[in-house]
Structure 1
Amino acid sequence: MPLTKVKDLLVHAQEHGYGVPAINVFDYNSIKFAAMAAEEARMPLIIQYFPGFDVHAPLADIRDIAVAFARRAAVPIAVHLDHSRSFEIAVSGLGAGFPSVMVDGSALPYEENVSLTAEVARCAHAMGVDVEAELGHVGVGMNLEDMTDAARFTDPDQAVDFVSRTGADSLAIAVGNAHGNYIRTPELDFDRIRKLREVLDIPLVMHGGSDIPDDQLARAVRCGMSKFNIATEYQRAFYNNMKEFFADGSNAGAYFKALRAIERPCIDFVKSKIDVLNPDGYRL
């Protein structure tokens, strides 16, 4: 089917009460398994790539593979470039042909974040490309303060100003979530999610969606969040299943057998996230 825009996919999700997993991929098979999961579940999906991995696979190569799978799919699949922390990285994503990019100026002073995001949005929108931005400090899960210090969370009033001045199409927010492995179980600020949903007219994004308990993910959907980034758990699914396949030594060197062995559990992992983020059982 025609390539779906991230913005359109998220608006549809918001209108129909489900969340969309945004699966961080890293090679051909991680893209393939994610796309297969979406088709089996008959639900939309976002395939996204972290630009820091370009030392392993160039942006344009991953973009081409992801777009090819998205166009062959019988369900809407969108393609997105994750965490561009500078204007130059975002522009490299535009040059590589990504139909959606994230610009992350959240570590900058507020006015610099506004300026960077607005500049990227002007360039991207001129090319018909969607832009995700970030406001608030979505830190790392091994730093307890990043998960618990409300001063680091997204301020609703500031978010209104930020969106109006930047033209961002979606906004990643800090509400107790963090990147990577968590030092303890996160506790999301659902009141803050609801307030942000009330005051903003663009979709809300959760980074650090890995290892957040299922009940909290489902509640976040019902509070109005639409996009949920999943990276750490997906990589762990590959690693753990590959490790199990080679554990007893009998399959040493059997790389292609290993790929076949991990295919089903990795697909099922993605399908499990699709189901958790669809608490009311919507289907296309």
Structure 2
Amino acid sequence: MRINYRELIEDAQNRSYAIGYFEAWNIESLISIVKAAENKRSPVMIGFCGEYLENAERKYEVDLELFSKIAKEVALKSSVPVITLLNESNTVEYTLKGIEAGFDSVMYVDEKIELEEMIIRQQKIVDQAHRKGILVEGEIGSLGLVDASSGDFYEGNKTRPEDAVYFAEKTNVDLLAISFGNVHLLEKSKAELDFDLLKTINEKVSIPLVLHGGTGIADEDFKKTIENGIVKVNIGAGLKREVIKSIQNYFEEYDVDEMNPNDVLGKGNLQDLDFYSHEGLITKVMNYMDLFNSTGKADKYI
């Protein structure tokens, strides 16, 4: 079902849970994420990464409006509240396209520009988004990053509380993603979160806070982040890793050269590659919903 995003944020704050944003990349992952939410009777946020959709090296250009329509249709037919997001677009132009395409929310990021320039750009986005009732997520600070191929770590810049306050007041964004030790693409260890910084920012900033880099967060830390103002958690890399592992396991278990191609793809039975590769994804999303305390929170809307 579709629901007002602002209403869902308020519900998460009032009932001490976080909304999980689980990033999809195709229709199978989109449907699997919503299936997990229905299994757990949990609100959920679905969407796509703007950076990847607008990637200049993509072989085929993405029809952003089509992607938005698919996500909205999946949301509409779901039995639980579903919000759509165009996440982390790297250009103002593509973020504005996301607004026109009808996503419930958008996010623009560019860690290379100065704060004042970011404020100017965000003001333009917020102005157009709010005219259409679309929420905007901003970001202050930059997350650390792990290079998955080399294992090299690139240190980010933690959010300064005074910058967070200034940015929120000047831009009128609806949510704020912050950096307090969380790391993008951290899979083989867990982030060391600065809870004192999170608490300080939460006390000073009047808008809801967002945690990116959720894959690298220890299970026991999610509860504490929610207690200190986090209302939305982003999970991306870990979902793709789960599907990749399942695909590897599939080809170890089955000799596809000796199988009917329609059993491998299309029938949706236990031997179907799409089914096989996404069962682990569904389970992983369900586990996160328990950690976010969102399990069962959709019951009031059903």
Q: TM-score, normalised by structure 2?
A: 0.86
Structure 1 unmatched runs, 5+: none
Q: For residue 84 of structure 2, what is the amino acid of its counterpart?
A: V
Is it true that 1:26 corresponds to 2:35 in the alignment? no
Match of 1:239 among 218, 237, 244: 244
Matched residues in 2 for 1:47 and 1:242: separation?
A: 22
Any conservation in 2 of the 1:51–1:59 contact (CA below 8 Å)? Answer: no
Matched residues in 2 for 1:279 and 1:79: separation?
A: 17
Q: For residue 273 of structure 2, what is the amino acid of its counterpart?
A: A
Per the alignment, residue 258 of structure 1 pairs with 273
Matched residues in 2 for 1:100 and 1:274: separation?
A: 21
**TM-superposed deviation, 1:144:** 4.0
Matched residues in 1 for 2:166 and 2:100: separation?
A: 29
Any conservation in 2 of the 1:105–1:116 contact (CA below 8 Å)? Answer: no
**TM-superposed deviation, 1:153:** 0.8
Other structure's SS at 1:49 match: strand
Greater CA drift, 263-272 or 30-39: 263-272
Matched residues in 2 for 1:38 and 1:248: separation?
A: 29
Is it true that 1:163 corresponds to 2:156 in the alignment? no
Per the alignment, residue 269 of structure 2 pairs with none
**TM-superposed deviation, 1:222:** 1.8
Per the alignment, residue 274 of structure 1 pairs with 289
**TM-superposed deviation, 1:262:** 2.6
**TM-superposed deviation, 1:194:** 1.2
Per the alignment, residue 51 of structure 1 pairs with 50
Per the alignment, residue 133 of structure 1 pairs with 138
**TM-superposed deviation, 1:167:** 0.6
Per the alignment, residue 197 of structure 1 pairs with 202
Per the alignment, residue 37 of structure 2 pairs with 38
**TM-superposed deviation, 1:95:** 2.1
Matched residues in 1 for 2:51 and 2:153: separation?
A: 25
Any conservation in 2 of the 1:23–1:47 contact (CA below 8 Å)? Answer: yes
Q: For residue 267 of structure 1, what is the amino acid of its counterpart?
A: I
Other structure's SS at 2:216 match: coil
Q: For residue 18 of structure 2, what is the amino acid of its counterpart?
A: G
Matched residues in 2 for 1:138 and 1:58: separation?
A: 29
Any conservation in 1 of the 2:40–2:295 contact (CA below 8 Å)? Answer: no
Matched residues in 1 for 2:110 and 2:254: separation?
A: 46
Any conservation in 1 of the 2:95–2:106 contact (CA below 8 Å)? Answer: yes
In structure 2, the CA distance between the partners of 1:185 and 1:36, relative to structure 1 (3 Å rule), is: same
In structure 2, the CA distance between the partners of 1:167 and 1:180, relative to structure 1 (3 Å rule), is: same
Q: TM-score, normalised by structure 1?
A: 0.91
Is it true that 1:146 corresponds to 2:155 in the alignment? yes
In structure 2, the CA distance between the partners of 1:281 and 1:78, relative to structure 1 (3 Å rule), is: closer
Q: For residue 274 of structure 2, what is the amino acid of its counterpart?
A: L
Any conservation in 2 of the 1:105–1:133 contact (CA below 8 Å)? Answer: no
Q: For residue 235 of structure 1, what is the amino acid of its counterpart?
A: K
Any conservation in 1 of the 2:29–2:278 contact (CA below 8 Å)? Answer: no
Any conservation in 2 of the 1:6–1:46 contact (CA below 8 Å)? Answer: no
**Which stretches of structure 1, 4 residues or more, deviate above 6 A after TM superposition?**
none
Per the alignment, residue 12 of structure 2 pairs with 13
In structure 2, the CA distance between the partners of 1:247 and 1:186, relative to structure 1 (3 Å rule), is: same
Q: For residue 73 of structure 1, what is the amino acid of its counterpart?
A: S
Computed over aligned residues only, the root mean square deviation of the Cα atoms, in angstroms, reads 2.0
Matched residues in 1 for 2:172 and 2:280: separation?
A: 39
Matched residues in 2 for 1:98 and 1:282: separation?
A: 23
Structure 2 unmatched runs, 5+: 267-271
Per the alignment, residue 85 of structure 1 pairs with 90
In structure 2, the CA distance between the partners of 1:282 and 1:71, relative to structure 1 (3 Å rule), is: closer
**TM-superposed deviation, 1:184:** 4.2
Any conservation in 2 of the 1:205–1:227 contact (CA below 8 Å)? Answer: yes
Greater CA drift, 168-177 or 239-248: 239-248
Per the alignment, residue 112 of structure 1 pairs with 117
Any conservation in 2 of the 1:146–1:176 contact (CA below 8 Å)? Answer: no
Q: For residue 265 of structure 2, what is the amino acid of its counterpart?
A: Y
Other structure's SS at 1:52 match: helix
Larger Rg: 2
Instruction: Give percent identity, aligned residues only.
Output: 28
Question: Number of matched residues?
Answer: 279
